[in-house]
Chain A
Amino acid sequence: DIVMTQSPDSLAVSLGERATINCKSSQSVLYSSNNKNYLTWYQQKPGQPPKLLIYWASTRESGVPDRFSGSGSGTDFTLTISSLQAEDVAVYYCQQYYSTTLSFGGGTKVEI
């Protein structure tokens, strides 16, 4: 099974500042035949279901603000919020779909 490890567990960022969340997979999630990374990012606010932000490691889902961006390849990935807004307070999860056994990271709590 692929283990997803996120860091940090939590971080506090001032409004308007950059937030950076890291995700590391125990094996590569880059599929060589199509050169795509099978990695998604979700945002979960209290009392709400997770919301898809990013897939293929860097493709923003429709309607997601462009202050959210994903980067990385292979085993190391980053979600960046370029200018934190109050509504971005949430827990963020990475998840791999390279393996048919899907797995999530432990989550990173972003606070103001």
Chain B
Amino acid sequence: QVQLQESGPGLVKPSETLSLTCTVSGGSISRYYWSWIRRPPGKGLEWIGYIYYSGSTNYSPSLKSRVTISVDTSKNQFSLKLNSVTAADTAVYYCARGKGDNSGFYYGVFDSWGQGTLVTVSS
């Protein structure tokens, strides 16, 4: 059973860069798509972007100018960087895996999630 765990600072100052890492255990990061998703307080889920294990990425257009997602297959980790943050970026951030089976690997069906980590943007 694959497990995902987010890690990183819980408090980031406005205009600085939010950095989170997702560590994958119990399975390989290879062959799958890996996403970051967030949920602002009192709001719904927002997809941030995904990375394929090979390194190709796709980002939400609304965040594309500020987001970078990277992968380190040797450490079974992938990471999120969001720069120039504001209070609107305060949210619980989740990492998630795209479902994969004998039929294929799907970037848009999230079958495993981390527990989530709250990141607050405040001075």
Residues of A within 8 A of B (CB): 1, 38, 40, 42, 44, 48-52, 55, 61, 93, 95-97, 100-107
Contacts and interface: CB of A to CB of B under 8 A. Distances in A.
Interface in B84-114: 94, 96, 99, 106-111, 113-114
Contacts of B114: 49
Given A50-B45, A52-B99, A97-B108, 10 more contacts: A42-B110, A44-B45, A51-B113, A52-B109, A93-B44, A93-B45, A96-B108, A101-B58, A101-B61, A102-B108
Contacts of B108: 38, 40, 95-97, 102
10 closest cross-chain pairs (CB), A and B: A97-B108, A49-B113, A102-B47, A104-B45, A107-B44, A55-B109, A106-B44, A52-B111, A102-B108, A100-B58
12 contacts: A40-B108, A50-B113, A51-B113, A52-B111, A55-B99, A61-B111, A93-B45, A95-B45, A97-B106, A100-B58, A103-B47, A104-B44
A49 B96 CA distance: 10
Contacts of B106: 55, 97
A87 to B, nearest CB: 18
A96 B44 CA distance: 14
B25 interface: no
B30 interface: no
A1 B58 contact: no
Interface in B47-102: 47, 50, 58, 60-61, 94, 96, 99
B46 interface: yes
B59 to A, nearest CB: 9
B62 to A, nearest CB: 9
A101 B60 contact: yes
Most B-side CB within 10 Å, residue of A48, A50, A51, A102: A102
